[in-house]
Amino acid sequence: MKKIAVFVSGNGTNLQAIINAVSRGALKAQIALVVSDKKNAFALIRARRAGIKALFLDPKDYESRRAYDAALVRCLKAQKIDLVVLAGFMRILSPLFVQAFRNRILNIHPALLPAFPGECAIKDAFRHGVKVTGITVHFVDEEVDHGPIIAQESVNVLATDTAESLEEKIHRVEHRIYPEAIKKVLSGGFTLKGRRVLPVSRKS
């Protein structure tokens, strides 16, 4: 069974969605490790409650981002991790880390990339007055919110929506499509052609 590591910084609702998908058999994978850069992240409690190994790795203990990421790489390789899943992890990964797990790092972003990159995507989209926003699951590369897109789903912004209600709608979609995207990647049923993630044609 493929092993995944989930990186978190906060509450961990996407982590919980992944845990739930594994528990009900919708996602055939082992969450072997949950890593946080925040000691008090509630996501670590979620992991421990589910019997998953949880690790707090303090960036302040390392002299540079590269040194911190090198420690992360060592931890993941020791656990023989197949796929890294970012779920609200609020640090930018260095090229060293990306190169170590090339095309094996996923991120979920609460907007239809390339629109509204960055950590305030929901508020930015709402303030901009868009009628449609959404969610993107993508591979992580050396640029922020930039890698090849695995899955996207739109969310309508209604006249009655507030920034808070829009955030709730987006999170509900995130919790459904992230486990589905992880499953797609782990199945290997895709090929990368430049920036395009295409299904593998299966000859009978």
Residue environment code for 7-30, b if the CB has 16+ CB neighbours within 10 A, otherwise e: bbbbebbbbbbbbebbeeeebebe
Strand partners, 31: 4
CB 157 within 8 A of CB 126: yes
52: phi > 0 → left, psi -120 to 50 → alpha, else beta; which? beta
Ordered strands of the 30-36 beta sheet: 54-56, 30-36, 3-8, 83-86, 105-109, 132-139, 149-156, 196-199, 190-193
- Write down the catalytic residue from 109, 138, 146, 175: 109
39 CB neighbour count, 10 Å cutoff = 9
Q: Output the furthest CA–CA distance in the chain (Å, rounded).
A: 54
Radius of gyration of the chain (CA): 17
Element (H, E) at 95: helix 95-100
Residue 128 falls in the annotated catalytic set: no
Among all residues, which ones are annotated catalytic? Answer: 109
